[in-house]
């Protein structure tokens, strides 16, 4: 028979493992999501740029460059996954 304390410890550990898996998948979902948002914003014609006052007069202003930069910044999860698959993830 298991004691309530050991059962709670297992549930806590299982919850932490589930949270890590969820965080990893969310990290992997960010890059393609932002890339798709950049593509959609480009195809729609950038009407959202009119709402962003910083979008005028700067090459890095506007929604499309912002989405592309966010996609690049969130690509670390993909690079880590690729490194693990190639065998370079074991440190």
The pair of structure tokens assigned to 65 is 């460059």
**pLDDT (tens digit, 9 = 90+) per residue, 57-74?**
555 668 888 899 999 999
**pLDDT (tens digit, 9 = 90+) per residue, 12-47?**
888 889 998 898 898 899 999 999 998 888 888 655
Pairwise CA distance, residues 78 & 91, whole Å: 17
**pLDDT of res. 5:** 47
The pair of structure tokens assigned to 66 is 């912002």
Locus of tokens 């490194």:
83
C-beta of residue 62 within 8 angstroms of C-beta of residue 46: yes
* Residue bearing the bigger pLDDT, 35 or 6: 35
The pTM assigned to this predicted structure is: 0.61
Pairwise CA distance, residues 54 & 63, whole Å: 10
């Amino acid at each position: 028979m298991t004691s309530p304390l050991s059962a709670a410890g297992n549930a806590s550990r299982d919850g932490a493992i589930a949270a890590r898996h969820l965080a990893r998948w969310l990290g992997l979902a960010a890059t393609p999501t932002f890339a798709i948002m950049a593509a959609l914003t480009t195809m729609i014609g950038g009407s959202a740029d009119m709402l962003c006052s910083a979008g005028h007069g700067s090459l890095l202003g506007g929604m499309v460059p912002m989405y592309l930069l966010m996609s690049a910044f969130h690509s670390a999860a993909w690079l880590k996954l690729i490194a693990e698959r190639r065998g370079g993830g074991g440190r």
